[in-house]
Amino acid sequence: MIHYSCDLCKRLIDPEEDLRYVVKIEVHAALEPADIDTADDDRDNLQEMQEILQRMEDIESEAIGDDVYQQLRFDLCPECRRKFAKNPLGRESKQFDFSKN
């Protein structure tokens, strides 16, 4: 039997009592499109894409560094899911200190 634990609080998740939530995060470099030159209008874009895909298949997936592409997967318990949903980027909340006058 597979046992799951929350990746945030490390609590065991009982599948008969608790829901288990899966969070998937995909991070990739945002590449800006190259300047399109009017002289390249007769290019075969589909052929170029096919060649790029073939080259990528030849390269091992680990050759592409985490700074270019990364997939993450986490299991969360219900309480940690609520916390994550309220603040998915983990930003610290700003506390204001107002005077009492």
What is the per-residue pLDDT across 48-78, written as a single tens digit (0 to 9) for each? 877 777 777 665 555 567 778 889 999 999 9
Give the total number of structural domains in the chain.
1
> In angstroms, rounded to a whole number, what is the distance separating the alpha carbons of residues 92 and 49?
42
> In angstroms, rounded to a whole number, what is the distance separating the alpha carbons of residues 65 and 61?
8
Does 58 map to a domain?
A: no
Distance of CA 79 to the CA centre of its chain: 21
Give the model's pLDDT for residue 88. Answer: 92
Give the model's pLDDT for residue 6. Answer: 97
Compute the average pLDDT of residues 10-17. 92
Q: What percent of the chain has pLDDT over 90?
A: 38
Does 98 map to a domain?
A: no
Does 11 map to a domain?
A: yes
CB within 8 A of 80, min separation 6: which ones? 6, 8, 9
* Structural domain boundaries, residue 70: 1-31+66-88
Give the model's pLDDT for residue 34. Answer: 64
Does 1 map to a domain?
A: yes
